Chain A
Amino acid sequence: MSNTIKRKAILTGAHFMNGDFACAEGAIVAGCRFFAGYPITPATEIAERLAERMPEVGGIYIQMEDEIASIAAVIGASYAGLKAMTATSGPGFSLMQENIGLAVMTETPCVIVDVMRGGPSTGQPTLPGQQDVMQAKWGSHGDYEIIALSPSSVQEMFDLTVEAFNLSEIYRVPTILLADEVVGHMWEKVVIPPPENLKIVNRKRPNVPPEKYLPFMPDDDLVPPMACFGEGFAFHATGLTHDEHGYPQTQSSEVQERLVRRLCDKIRKSADKIVKVEEVMLEDADVVVIAYGIVARAALSAVRKARAEGIKAGLLRPITLWPFPEKHVEKVARKAKKIVVAEMNCGQIVREVQRAAKETPVMFLPKLGEDPHTPMEILEGIRRNKP
């Protein structure tokens, strides 16, 4: 039976599927064997696909009673040794925030997919939005750093889901796939590579015997090796501030300083390794468009049209939203005369861009409602800002 399971796990080849399905396949390829979720538009298709696929690969699918339970079960499964994921949209993402903080504090590798719809509140369930970008970074209380990736295509729903698992395993941090409704629901070609062309990373394991194991003692990369429940290590994990033994230290400001700084620094100091962007025609660009997710597809088209009109336009597409690619923005801002930011909200990433761009003027193209920006809308923005 093991051969059958192996063959079915990676559906190598070209497929025509929607973004949610591609995300589900990416999870299985990455080694995810536990999914807990709760139905919500427009992420439900991820759960439906995994309800069918997980048993085929010997994995667990469970529909929990709500999103709070879903993320809690994901954390438990990860501590019991399985790569684990949940998928939701804005309202469910809001419910998950407290336990995302627990995952940060207990350094739990896990992936949370948020297929963004229009908010606030119930908002517009079937329509796209990019309104959860700041929530992804700041949604849980306390100081922390997190990783969030933004797919622009169905292919990237697959690729970046694999990447999200790899990053969460490397840094022991909850990693968020911040998709939008259009990318989740549209159908495109997806190529799933053969196993030998896939890079799959697993968490660091302890290389000391149980009696010497300190569950929260980091290596030089600031990430502690992770033992799992049932392996004889008998360790304690808590959402309370804790020392390297995992024991609560609720009165020590020294331990609080050491722990919280490390949780932030393990991501901040590795930002150059984590951050990915797509750069198109930036070398001589006077006007740089910054867009992500589905909006970046229209932005690319607009940049090409602008070039055809003789405007030196370029595109900077953050693939990693958190940590924010501020060095890339700083670099383009030094040469560009204007920056145009297009996103489907009232102004979220644009603030990060303004902070990194310093004196370079930033023009903002917000959009809310049914359709993402059209290429013409972004082209108009470029035209208005040409030197």
Chain B
Amino acid sequence: MTTEIEHPLSKYLRKAMMPHIWCSGCGNGIILNCFVQAVNELQMDLDKLVVVSGIGCIGRAAGYINTSSFHTTHGRPIALATGVKLANPNLEVVVISGDGDLFAIGGNHFIHAARRNIGVKVICANNFNYGMTGGQQGPTTPLEALTTTTPYGNIEHPFNLVHLAAASGATYVARWTTLHVRRLTQSIKRLLQKEGFGFIEVVSPCPEIFGRHNKMRTGLEMMEWFRRSSVVENFSDPSKAEITPERIVVGEFVNIDKISYERLLHEKIAHINEEKMWR
């Protein structure tokens, strides 16, 4: 006789949405796991948590997490999350999306949300390509990498996402790979406790769609690359945090305190109304 016992984190997932759509060897499940672990360890009020995602494989994560969630149009989760956070600053608003969604079609929203320091937390699964549409080149595809749209090797320079986030004004910036599950979970916990705009890049394996063209056919081979090449360099210069076949610089690059847009806004509103009453 067998007895079924409930997984301790299953209350965080919408079981009706399972099975998920992700391929074997994909890193998205690890990211989702680390996220709900962090939410669990922080004992967050699920009624106050909103997860927003865009289009792409990881975009489905919003639907899998058992909390208020919005699956937006391609590239727009940060802009929509901005509206949610401003309308109700008591909500914890997290964007979970991919590199193409956040940094190609949605790049402008990312840099402006960071500049404003709006209290939205962004977790980016960087799998170096457009997985959902079958593996095209994207804004983080490494030079010379083979994809379905760079059959002769990629000639576009990729974004350094942590450098971009730091330069745009984010109060928290980190990069991990899906191999760093404990560090990633702790990092998400710190992210969720920050005021203002924060960002974590998670380098994630995509063996089925990206790895197969680049001599890493299995999830294990991609994870082996992460293991071999990752170096933890906390608070090093994010502009030098490279991702190459030989070296993936991970760690926490920025952790500063800066008043958030929504706090400034609501202080301003209170101040204006006090002043007008005086007159």
Contact = CB atoms under 8 A, between A and B. Distances in A.
Partners in one complex: yes
Interface of A: 1, 4-5, 8, 33-34, 36, 55-56, 58, 60, 62, 64-66, 68-70, 72-82, 84, 98-99, 101-102, 106, 229-240, 245, 247-248
Interface string B248-279: 00000000000000000100110011101100
Given A1-B273, A60-B265, A239-B71, A74 B83 contact: yes
B69 A237 contact: yes
B273 A56 contact: yes
Contacts of A78: 83, 87
B190 interface: no
B83 A66 contact: no
B73 A239 contact: yes
Nearest to A76: B83
B contact patch SS: helix
A236 B81 CA distance: 14
A81 B276 contact: no
Contact of B87 (A55, A60, A70): A60
Given A56-B273, A81-B87, A229-B91, A73 B79 contact: yes
Interface of B: 14, 16-17, 46-48, 50, 52, 60, 62-63, 66-73, 75-76, 79-88, 90-91, 108-109, 112, 265, 268-269, 272-274, 276-277
What are the 5 A-B residue pairs with the smallest beta carbon separation, nearest first? A76-B83, A73-B83, A80-B87, A72-B79, A238-B71
A69 B84 contact: no
A275 B242 CA distance: 60
Given A73-B82, A236-B69, A247-B17, 19 more contacts: A55-B273, A60-B87, A68-B75, A69-B76, A70-B79, A72-B109, A73-B79, A73-B80, A74-B83, A76-B79, A76-B80, A76-B82, A80-B91, A81-B88, A102-B72, A229-B84, A235-B68, A247-B63, A248-B63
Contacts of B76: 68-69, 72, 99, 102
Given A1-B274, A72-B76, A72-B80, A34 B86 contact: yes
A193 to B, nearest CB: 24
B73 A102 contact: yes
A77 B71 contact: no
Nearest to B262: A60
B86 A65 contact: no
A64 B82 contact: yes
With a 10 A CB-CB cut-off, give which of B17, B66, B75, B88 has the most chain A CB atoms. Answer: B88
B88 A80 contact: yes
Given A1-B277, A5-B273, A248-B63, A76 B109 contact: no
11 contacts: A34-B83, A56-B272, A72-B109, A76-B52, A76-B70, A76-B82, A79-B83, A80-B87, A99-B73, A229-B84, A240-B71
A234 B68 contact: yes
B84 A77 contact: yes
Given A34-B83, A77-B87, A4 B273 contact: yes
A236 B63 contact: yes
With a 10 A CB-CB cut-off, give which of B68, B87, B88, B272 has the most chain A CB atoms. Answer: B87
B69 A79 contact: no
Given A58-B269, A65-B109, A231-B47, A72 B72 contact: yes
Contact of B86 (A55, A77, A106, A239): A77
A106 B63 CA distance: 14
A87 to B, nearest CB: 15
With a 10 A CB-CB cut-off, give which of B62, B68, B71, B88 has the most chain A CB atoms. Answer: B68
A230 B90 contact: yes
